[in-house]
Amino acid sequence: MNDRYAPDGRVDVMEDSIPFYQPVGQECELFERAFRHRLPLLIKGPTGCGKTRFVAHMAARLGRPLITVACHDDLTAADLVGRHLIGESQTYWADGPLTRAVRQGAICYLDEIVEARKDTTVVLHPLTDDRRILPIDRTGEQLHAPETFMLVVSYNPGYQNLLKSLKPSTRQRFVALTFDFPPSAVETRIVTHESGVEQAMAQRLVEVAQRLRRLAGIDLDEAISTRLLVYAANLIRAGCEPVMACIAAMVEPLTDDADTAAALKEVIRAGFAP
């Protein structure tokens, strides 16, 4: 498998089966080294900066199936490992996504791991130390993860939650890397590639986004993500007037506060003023 990414930001021709990912630093090498040495990986970064895409890209590059689980408040260990179901003549065991990933030697990606119930993170422990086993208490089975199994988890450290955080004893079990929004040139290229707008328009959108991100005294729970830039570009390509597209994609989804919205709109209007 050849390296297909270019650390300097060049967009290489990618085969259709490998999702487009525009690398920013050496994240691809680190992922691959962790994969080769069977180390679990923790990816930290804000919403919409490309973590999910990055994992999909790496799974395809490494030729492994990817099993993604969007974690949430009620996700329990049983949801990951499996449970007994009632069948025709007796109960049978139905593997959960984590168990399927271990059996197949797949990459298992737990998105927003901090959202999951605590028991789900602890069930990961025996998989993340040198034992690399998945004990299934309910059946008494104990699976040994094959060499190609890799566990990847992510969370957003900027979205503080008093009640939720990754337990230190869990974090300690991962090699970690931090994602952020890409630099201007890279982000422009992504917007162009994803939406099909002209590069000039993509560049204008990225400039507006960066001004919005730097806006002092604005209290948003989340910064404007690359994903929202792509949404705005999509609306524009669909015939929407740029200011209206930016409001629908970059202001309304981020705030309900009239003053905040007004400040954001002003920046947008200035950005598209002739």
According to CB under 8 A, which residues from 147 to 176 bind a copy of itself?
Answer: 156-157, 159, 167-169, 171-176
Nearer to a copy of itself, 155 or 271 (CB): 155
- 42 contributes a contact to a copy of itself by CB under 8 A: yes
What is residue 144's three-state secondary structure? strand
- 274 contributes a contact to a copy of itself by CB under 8 A: no
- 79 contributes a contact to a copy of itself by CB under 8 A: yes
| Furthest C-alpha separation in the chain | 73
Task: Report d(CA 33, CA 241) in Å as an integer.
Answer: 46
- 234 contributes a contact to a copy of itself by CB under 8 A: yes
- 231 contributes a contact to a copy of itself by CB under 8 A: yes
Question: Using CB under 8 A, which of 15, 16, 130, 219 touches a copy of itself?
Answer: 130
Q: Work out how close the CB of 105 gets to a copy of itself at its nearest, in angstroms, rounded to a whole number.
A: 16
Backbone dihedral region for residue 232 (phi beyond 0: left; psi -120 to 50: alpha; all else: beta)? alpha
- 57 contributes a contact to a copy of itself by CB under 8 A: no
Rg of the chain's alpha carbons, rounded to an integer? 21
* Dihedral sign computed on CA atoms, order 92, 97, 100, 102: negative
Question: Using CB under 8 A, which of 3, 6, 94, 146 touches a copy of itself?
Answer: 94
Contacts of 87 (CB under 8 A, 6+ apart): none
- 63 contributes a contact to a copy of itself by CB under 8 A: no
Stretch that binds a copy of itself, among 10-18, 123-131, 207-215, 263-271 (CB under 8 A): 123-131
Task: Report d(CA 183, CA 243) in Å as an integer.
Answer: 23
Task: Report d(CA 11, CA 212) in Å as an integer.
Answer: 27
Stretch that binds a copy of itself, among 78-86, 143-151, 204-212, 266-274 (CB under 8 A): 78-86
Q: Work out how close the CB of 199 gets to a copy of itself at its nearest, in angstroms, rounded to a whole number.
A: 20
For 4, counting Cβ atoms within 10 Å of its Cβ (0-12 exposed, 13-18 middle, 19+ buried), the class is middle
- 115 contributes a contact to a copy of itself by CB under 8 A: yes
Nearer to a copy of itself, 66 or 267 (CB): 66
